Amino acid sequence: MTVKIEKIDNCRWRIPREGDMRTEGLVFADQQMIAVLQKEQALEQVRNVATLPGIVGPSMAMPDIHWGYGFPIGGVAAFDAEEGVVSPGGVGYDINCGVRLLRSALVAEEIAPRLHKLADTLFRNVPCGVGSQRRDLKLSLQEERRVLAEGAGWAAARGFGSREDLEHIEERGVIGGADPELISDRALERGRSQLGTLGSGNHFLEVQYVEEIYDAEVAEVLGLFPGQVTVSIHTGSRGLGYQVCDDYLKIMQRASSKYGIKLPDRQLCCAPLKSPEGRQYLAAMACAANFAFANRQLITSWVRESFEQVLGLGPSDLRLSVIYDVCHNIAKMETHTVEGHKRRLCVHRKGATRAFAPGHPEVPSMYRGVGQPVLIPGDMGRYSYVLVGTRGAMEETYGSSCHGAGRLLSRHAAKKVARGHNIEAEMAARGILVRAAGRATVAEEISEAYKDVTEVVGVVQQAGLGKIVARLRPMAVVKG
């Protein structure tokens, strides 16, 4: 079905309200992106989200938009706390898939001679694939429930990092209201062996360097300088989060019928926020989100351990500290100003990043003068970006920005393009080392499978949803 779309300006497009839509759609994209999107289903998903009860403001999509389950990936939608709904499709299967960025006191030239050994050590110390785990981390059922309640704080309290790390994580590394009793035995079973693992697919661990600084004053506040070695960690709640989503989709399908919610797509199944089903999903989702925060905290500890082993330097010399850690797939209760009035909303960000402005009380104190760090990974062959949130994002997108480059090709199509190529050798020739559990994952993640993240963040900056601070170039990539 063709979706009617109207150009507002060079980076905004309106999907007019019609039929069962309760509001309009708003897509942030340039002309070339829209031309591609008009051949896909993602715009229809933006329109479908606009039909859900209690939606406040437009159904939105960031420039990394592509097709997803129910909501598009890159989708943002807010729902009134009293009259709105919560939808697992608006969060996704990988609950709190997110990115953490570490800075160091090192420069790229210092680690270049030992980069091969560093890549090998990271690949060995940080479990990657679906079934891998650290033999020295055994999680009892009781301890797993503590992880679900305490998040990154659970890991820090056990020596995997420090309390200072927590100050640099969205929500300090724990979403409130988590209830481990709402997590199924199957979800607990899947999570128990996967805490502290990177996973497969588009998850990665990347050693990078700061290639370019665009705003020196903000970069100084974030602790970034040219040539500096950084590390990005991109992973989420693993099998536990997937199972939580799967479990609650069944509950929400029944709830949609129970509460008489008309759906244009059953993948948008949902429940009123004030209903028992809605409250239970948010509490279970918080558990999975906290698992993801703890997961990235453990991996951070093992990254530090790897650098120390390879370079023979101590923590005070390496200074591998957390810049920030952001959620990508989450639904959160937040207060926003809508038409001059404060309103309590449930903001769904699916493949989208919180981008709060300078002065916001939820921005960590050390960054409050410049805005929340916004971490935008690209693809393993090109670059990633660091931005900060803006007042424009607060006014237009409930403090939201894009989350990455966004896929152009399906995994199957990417494998076809990669056929006959030695991706690892081609990457090495460009100065990027790749360590992966299997060739299939590398083939799925080739640069051609993604939009150019420079173009994506360019739209974000032009629209006033974020300010570009720095570009990071990959040196070594670890994938599951």
Task: Give the active site residues.
Answer: 403
Distance between CA atoms of residues 385 and 405, nearest Å: 10
Query: CB-based contacts of 211: which residues, under 8 Å, 6+ apart?
Result: 226, 383, 471, 472, 473
HSE-CB of 314 using CA atoms within 13 angstroms: 1
Nearest to 324 by CA among 359, 362, 284: 362
Helices (H), 81-215: 108-111, 115-125, 141-150, 152-157, 163-166, 185-192
Query: Residue 177 has what DSSP assignment?
Result: T
The SS3 of residue 63 is: strand
Tokens matching residue 142:
């009781």
Extract the runs of DSSP E, i.e. beta strands, from 32-115.
55-66, 73-80, 85-86, 98-107
Instruction: Name 350's bridge partners.
Output: 75, 329
Q: What share of the chain is helix, strand, coil (3-state, %, to 5)?
A: 40, 25, 35
Tokens matching residue 277:
């089903």
Distance between CA atoms of residues 30 and 12, nearest Å: 8
Distance between CA atoms of residues 28 and 13, nearest Å: 6
Distance between CA atoms of residues 458 and 476, nearest Å: 25
HSE-CB of 214 using CA atoms within 13 angstroms: 15
The SS3 of residue 156 is: helix
Task: Give helix 141-150 / helix 276-311 axis angle, nearest 10°.
Answer: 100
